[in-house]
Amino acid sequence: MTIQIGDRIPAAILNTLRDGVQPVTTDELFAGRKVVLFSVPGAFTPTCTARHLPGYAEQLPEFQARGIDVACMSVNDAFVMDAWAKSQNVPASLTMLADGNGAFASLLGLEFDASAFGMGLRARRFALYAEDGVVKHLAVEAPGEFKVSSAEAVLAAIG
């Protein structure tokens, strides 16, 4: 079942690269904080690299002015996420998260099978806004689209 507005973010462990691969629990990420988590189907893929990640990097000061942290997630490993962040000059305050096996995407009910494209299980393109671990806004893209999960769309939706 897909996560819904009002649901609590499920317990999971993601990874980030800081002095080696470091686990990050969803509790660490969301508890007591306002967070936008956006997910891309794959690091270095065209729309993700040209539009999705850059939009959040550009709008990061606006989110921060509202007291909102921003994290990017993909079904890639922490090394790939770090390399992608460096290649895109992503500010260190935008957290890059690896959901290497897609376990968190599956817990959210937001996984999809991209095996036909040689990519295996992936996370759908989405953005969610949570306060203290409770989903307040959820924007899931239709396959092949990039409309509702952009930084601008999320900023407009959460006011």
Catalytically annotated residue among 14, 48, 72, 110: 48
**Residues in the chain, overall count:** 159
Distance, CA of 110 to CA of 124 (rounded, Å): 6
Encode 142-154 in three state secondary structure. Answer: CCCCCCCCCHHHH
Let me know the angle formed at the C-alpha of 115 by 111 and 116, rounded to the nearest 5 degrees.
Answer: 120
Tell me if residue 7 falls in helix, strand or coil. coil
Q: How many CB atoms lie within 10 A of CB 27?
A: 13
Our answer to whether residue 72 is catalytic in this structure is: no
What positions carry a catalytic annotation?
Answer: 48
